[in-house]
Amino acid sequence: MSQRGAQVMSSGLPGEIVQLTMEHLWLVLLSITIAVGIALPMGVLLTRKRPLQGWVLGFANVVQTIPSLALFGFLIPLPLIGGIGQHTAIMALILYALLPVLRNTFTGILGIDPAVRESALAMGMTDGQLLRLVELPLAARTILAGVRVATVTTIGTATIAAAIGAGGLGVFIFRGLASVDSTLLLAGAIPAAAMALLADGGLGWIEKKFSPV
Amino acid sequence: MTPIVEFRGVSYRINGHHILRNLSFSLAAGETLVLLGRSGSGKTTALKMVNGLLFPTEGEVCVEGMPTTSWDPIRLKRRIGYVIQEAGLFPHFTVADNVGLVPKLEGWPPSRVRARTGELLEQVTLPPSEFSLRYPRELSSGQRQRVGVARALAADPALLLFDEPFGALDPVTRLELQNQFLALREQWGKTAMFVTHDVREAMRLGSRIGLLHHGALEALAPPEEFRRQHGDEAQAFLACLDLK
């Protein structure tokens, strides 16, 4: 963090805000993309292999209950994924983002009218066709709602990532806390809040494009 | 001639419960067999045995002479049209896409799918110009059921299965659809298996009626003969005919 911090110091507050916002955005986008990449297929798998449900959802639930600062702390000593810096933070953010996407994929697919699934099977759809033509389109709205929740919470949680040297808008917040400077606190909090609102609005807009069926 | 469908000593047991007990009967080409029974009598289970949604725990079901367990499950299902209550239409597909689905899965060229879809919608009295692009939620339940019938007919299956297709309709619409069913059968001579709990519907539509009670076949006879059945369950259903 020291190197990045020094860089930030030299460029005046507005410049810093832009730079840290971009860093923050990068943390969030990368974590969400990877989390969706893991949780979506896993949610689909859970609808096929019901016995796994309890274990996987249970694990994701437990992760969700770990306070974020503690989770960052737990990850630091781990080999490969641990240490100080962005990759540890991204790992933690992915773990947090898994549950909403996983759960919504799973419930979205299971919530489809059984008559619709039955007639798809009776018409001789293969499992792949059932998923691609029926289940994913009909669950899209619910899945997107999960992605939206995950994104908004990740934007918030990512501010804590600065504690382990991952950068982002949390840098301002921690610095503001340390120096009891509310301008610095706001310089971190306002862009993070704005980002969360924009993400919420944007993803909500996309969600509504999918008809509620 | 090989029967289209043949049940050979079919039983189905799940968690120690007998859903079907030793069913044996066959279905000749062009015939409409109505399976009549109360809720829970096993009639829907029997129907699902035909297109391989379920398999017997004892005995076998043969379709066109071959046991369902030997069929490629996808091929078997695509050869058989299936209509269920509330139609089970895909809510995110237009009427035309719903009807054209199996032909499309079968790889028909789009122009042929379109022509076939239009022809079928005409036949179930839903003018394609008006209905093709609508979504299921924009239809009445009777119209949805018609689309369900058109969809089942799309790839020209030799055999059609109906699982209480008209159960949720008002009496007037139900009568209309029953008449349409009879007209279509006249026109195409398809073989059909039809499940209902409505004895009047069974008498109107069936060339033979099979009465299921606790998973066993209590009677199997053409409607005229069915009227003269003496069994308790048959009497219970026949009593419903006199209520008019």
In terms of domains, do B52 and B163 share one?
A: yes
In terms of domains, do B233 and B112 share one?
A: no
Contacts for A182 with CB less than 8 Å, ≥ 6 apart:
A176
Q: How close B209 gets to chain A, by Cα (Å)?
A: 24
Residues 98-127 of B with CB under 8 A from A: 101-102, 105
**Does any domain span residue B98?**
yes
pTM of the model: 0.82
On the question of pLDDT at B41 being above 80, the answer is: yes
- In angstroms, the CA A91 to CA A95 distance is 6
Neighboring chain B residues of A134 at a CB cutoff of 8 Å: 90
Neighboring chain B residues of A113 at a CB cutoff of 8 Å: 88, 91
On the question of pLDDT at A158 being above 90, the answer is: yes
In terms of domains, do B142 and B181 share one?
A: no
**What is the average pLDDT across A1-26?**
73
Neighboring chain B residues of A122 at a CB cutoff of 8 Å: 51, 53, 77, 82, 84
Residue A43, classified by CB atoms within 10 Å of its CB into exposed (0-12), middle (13-18) or buried (19+), is: buried
In terms of domains, do B170 and B243 share one?
A: yes
Cβ–Cβ contact B240 with A under 8 A: no
Neighboring chain A residues of B105 at a CB cutoff of 8 Å: 123-125, 129
Question: Considering chain A, what is the average pLDDT of its residues?
Answer: 89
If one counts the domains in chain B, the total is 2
Reported as a single tens digit per residue, the pLDDT across B121-173 is 998 889 999 999 999 999 998 899 999 999 998 988 989 999 998 887 888 88
Nearest CA in chain B to A115: B88
Q: How close B75 gets to chain A, by Cα (Å)?
A: 7
**Does any domain span residue B17?**
no
- In angstroms, the CA B199 to CA B238 distance is 7
Range scoring the smallest mean pLDDT among A53-57, B67-71, B144-148, B211-215: A53-57
On the question of pLDDT at B197 being above 90, the answer is: yes
In terms of domains, do B238 and B173 share one?
A: yes
On the question of pLDDT at A2 being above 70, the answer is: no
In terms of domains, do B163 and B212 share one?
A: yes
Residue appearing with tokens 């001639």:
B1
- Check residue B173 and give its pLDDT: 86
Q: Within 13 A of B65's CA, how many CA atoms are on the CB side?
A: 2
C-beta pairs of B113-118 under 8 Å, 24+ apart in sequence: B116/B154, B117/B150, B117/B154
CATH number at residue B34: 3.40.50.300
In terms of domains, do B170 and B150 share one?
A: no
Q: Measure Cα distances from A34 to A17, A21, A55, A172, A175 in Å.
A: 26, 20, 21, 26, 29
Cβ–Cβ contact B78 with A under 8 A: yes
Is the Cβ–Cβ distance between A184 and A172 less than 8 Å? yes
- Check residue A213 and give its pLDDT: 54
How many contacts (CB atoms, under 8 Å) link A and B? 55
**Does any domain span residue B138?**
yes
In terms of domains, do B169 and B50 share one?
A: yes
In terms of domains, do B189 and B148 share one?
A: no
**What is the average pLDDT across A26-34?**
96
**Does any domain span residue B10?**
no
Nearest CA in chain B to A140: B92
- Contact B90/A116, CB-based, under 8 Å? yes
Neighboring chain B residues of A213 at a CB cutoff of 8 Å: 91-92, 137
